[in-house]
Structure 1
């Protein structure tokens, strides 16, 4: 098979996947097979994105008055002509349609205007699920602020701070992207999480496919069960394994720790409460902790640390709790 034939074959496969994923009958097994196909070659991903773009362009043009009028003129011309003449005029008909499509898309398309964003915010200790108008579900973690900017051509969400899980609704005519600091996440129908603290960004993929861009425009494609960091300068790191149990826990109000430092646990727990749990000796922060902790229950956390790790707790002025080493 020559190079052109191979490219045509991949393009045909990509068109098949666009139609299959768009179908209401699409099942999890279909998506798993699609992800396997994507993983076989970078050319598959490029072909899929191009085919999805063409599909979205066609959908956008479907209702255009100029294009419909050109199609009607072409059909009338075809019906009134003899067959031999029809065969000779088919290229002209195609050219007419192409010109009409070009005029509709480039000449008559409304000039984009800035889109007013809709802000969604959670306070300290609050978690909330928001369903956007395209069916996308956003689970906002504590102290999180995002802004959704949707228009007729695109869907964008800007993560200004905090942590969000996205379960993206299908809308081939409007690509979905998340902007967080210097990072941009482009989605292909999936479930993923974005954390932004300062200008550092972390992206974790639970299901589907996402592409992560940095300020340098390097692009990394993630597979389910992978995570990646985008540094404040915009550099994209290497994909790394994701703790999927922990990632699935926080949207349900649970912090799942497996042999992680106590200091890290307290840092996470303190994000959800005005009552701070602190360490009398920073060396205690190296203690390794495993367990499932309810993120809104500092009292239960302290009781577990007293019982399981023999730490002693005392309340100090202002209501904070200080953990001290075991007695004797």
Structure 2
């Protein structure tokens, strides 16, 4: 299947690039975001194509302020208006002009777009690629930590402060204000009046963890209050919602770029570590997926993780691509040292 084509609802985008542009639009509503999630889940190529489109924009953002790109953008606009017959030259400059436009719209080191809306409100969109968590200050003074491979949109006005976590993970230290503060994630609503909490959204689950203060979480027809050091796991299909203890050490560590794992399945651990690096770690033997791993690792340090898996669990890494390492069981003489 072509990653740029899908059976999408009428008038919806059909390519990763057009979806990226549409999701940045200030009038993009919940129905279109749901259609996007449907498109992305239809085929693995769609999710990969969209991630590549976001990385392209993020990489372009690193070039902010480059005078050559700004000059290329200006030259492209002048040629379009004055010399329609010079399309071949314009085609060469177009990629640089697009990059310059992205720089002006988004900035460094994360993607950001701000749009004024009616009634004095303001909307922004934040997205991160494979990088360490970023500390940001939202328009109301709320402190947000945005994890790698995460996307958030905000809308603040006099009546409400609304944050939508589209994917990934974020922490909020909420500033006190008269307008209520809400985070929407996968159809669930987290309401807060001034506290510190985290929300993560993956394909199959939304997790809300409370570090300080109090929050109320509405899922379906139910509303549950959380106390500090509690977390609520909500299945994406609404089939279950379980309150449990929050691992506060792990919750506080990821915002500092450290990942703490306690008896984590290896396939889940690799998925989280891969978010922070362009070098991906894969399993060459699916029987390794259920290995239980405990330890603390620096986000993005794939080589340190490989060494730990070799020393502690007898796994060996083989280079299978320019940015890809595949893990296999060690030699028979070394396999005895593996632990479960």
What do residues 76-130 of structure 1 show as CA deviations (whole Å, max 9, x unaligned)?
xxxxxxxxxxxxxxxxxxxxxxxxxxxxxxxxxxxx8594521111112342111
- Residue 128 of structure 1 is matched in structure 2 by 134
Count of residue correspondences: 215
Give the deviation of 1:223 after TM superposition.
0.6
Query: Counterpart of 2:200?
Result: 195
Which residue of structure 2 aligns with residue 321 of structure 1? 325
Of the three residues 161, 173, 180, the one matched with 1:175 is 180
Alignment pair present for 1:160 and 2:163: no
Residue 199 of structure 1 and its aligned partner are, at CA, apart by 6.7
Q: TM-score, normalised by structure 1?
A: 0.62
Distance 2:226 2:306 in 1: 37
Using the size of structure 2 for normalisation, the TM-score is: 0.60
> For 1:278, which of 265, 282, 286 is the aligned residue?
282
Contact 1:213–1:236, Cα closer than 8 Å, also in 2? no
- Name the SS of the counterpart of 1:316 in structure 2: strand
| 3-state secondary structure, aligned to 2:251 | helix
Q: Distance in 1 between matches of 2:242 and 2:218?
A: 12
Query: Is the Cα–Cα contact under 8 Å of residues 311 and 324 in structure 1 kept in the other structure?
Result: yes
8 Å CA contact retained: 2:214, 2:227: yes
CA contact (8 A) 1:293 1:301 kept: yes
Which residue does 1:265 correspond to in 2?
Answer: 269
2:85 aligns to what? Answer: none
2:316: which partner in 1? 312
Larger helix share, 1 or 2: 1
**8 Å Cα contact 2:120-2:157 kept in structure 1:** no
Larger Rg: 1
Taking the aligned partners of 1:228 and 1:318, their CA distance within structure 2 comes to 39
Corresponding residue for 1:184? 189
What does residue range 5-84 of structure 1 map to in structure 2 within 5 Å? none
Cα distance in 1 between the residues matched to 2:267 and 2:236: 24
C-alpha root-mean-square deviation of aligned residues, in Å? Answer: 1.9
Higher strand share: 2
Change (3 A) 1:301 1:188: same
1:142 aligned partner: 148
In the alignment, structure 1 segments of 5+ residues that lack a partner are: 1-111
- Give me the whole-angstrom Cα distance separating, in 1, the residues matched to 2:204 and 2:287: 29
1:232 to 233, 236, 239: 236
Deviation at 1:236, TM superposition (A): 6.0
Q: How far apart are residue 322 of structure 1 and its match?
A: 1.2
Q: Following TM superposition, by how much is the alpha carbon of 1:237 offset from its aligned partner in structure 2, in angstroms? A: 0.9
Structure 1 moving runs of 4+ over 6 Å: none
| Runs of 5+ unmatched residues, structure 2 | 1-117, 333-340
